Amino acid sequence: MLFLPTNERIRVKIAEGGRGGAQPGNHAVMMYQAFTEFLKEEVGELPSIRPVILARPGLMIWEYLAMTTALIDYLAGETDESILEAAQVIDRRLGLGEEIVGLRLSPVIGGPYVWREGEGAIELGYGARVTIRPARIYPMRYVDPGNFDSAITHIAGFVTIEAAKTFAGGGGGVDHLARIHRGLWHALYGVPVSDGNIILVRDMGHAIALEFSLGADT
């Protein structure tokens, strides 16, 4: 998977006293609360604290990660790779996708990187700067590719590698890779094929279409 810094920013603070986080029914808040329950099993009772979101992001996975990272920073004082690895264990126990497990490393790495489960992260040099805007939400349903499973997996890995090279080189030719990327999502998850500068990401059971633009890094 390729992880890139974007223009999206989220601000969270930890408030003492009270329960919960954001509005009831928010799936990210439900996952945050489940995260704290698993954390209690490891470290014991937690202080009476709650995350307060000051600037809300466009995706629930960002909200979940921001709240849990703020909690970890509050409890540990400083987040290092060993603490994040412990948080990844809880992410997996919650059944969250590998994109969340991989994204968990972004505060430590601080820049673009490629990550794969079981193989760790490879940091990339800065190239193009990515600006995104959430555009549409789609349901996801896994479509069995049958005999094409290994071929699709190979293509997906190839697209990730080429996207990393393209990003590092300034972004030229990304449109072609984005079209292949959207085709893979249609083949695997039944997401409608769309035109334009669109990439798709998983967001806690849904697919989010993100409109993107690239500019030179400064």
Name the residue ranges covered by the structural domains of the chain.
2-116, 127-216
Q: In this predicted model, what pLDDT tens digit does every residue of 159-169 receive, in sequence order?
A: 888 888 887 77
Cβ contact 101:61 at 8 Å: no
Cβ contact 200:181 at 8 Å: yes
pLDDT at site 218: 47
Q: In this predicted model, what pLDDT tens digit does every residue of 111-148 receive, in sequence order?
A: 888 888 888 888 887 666 788 888 889 998 888 888 88
Q: Output the six-digit token pair for 155.
A: 């293509």
**More confident site: 4 or 187:** 187
CA 30 to chain CA centroid, Å, is 17
Q: Which residues pair with 6 in a beta bridge?
A: 130
Query: Strands 206-216 and 198-203: what pairing?
Result: antiparallel
How confident is the prediction for the chain on average, in pLDDT?
Answer: 82
Give dist(CA 10, CA 57) in Å, integer: 6
Helical packing angle, 27-43 and 81-93, nearest 10°? 110
pTM above 0.85, yes or no: no
Q: Which residues pair with 155 in a beta bridge?
A: none
Residues 6+ apart with CB under 8 A from 88: 101, 104
Q: Tell me how crowded residue 75 is: count the other CB atoms within 10 A of its CB.
A: 15
Q: In this predicted model, what pLDDT tens digit does every residue of 139-156 receive, in sequence order?
A: 988 888 888 888 888 898
Output the CA–CA distances (angstroms, integers) from residue 159 to 6, 50, 123, 147, 166, in the order listed: 20, 40, 17, 20, 10
Cβ contact 192:138 at 8 Å: yes
Cβ contact 198:182 at 8 Å: yes
Mean pLDDT computed over 30-49 = 86
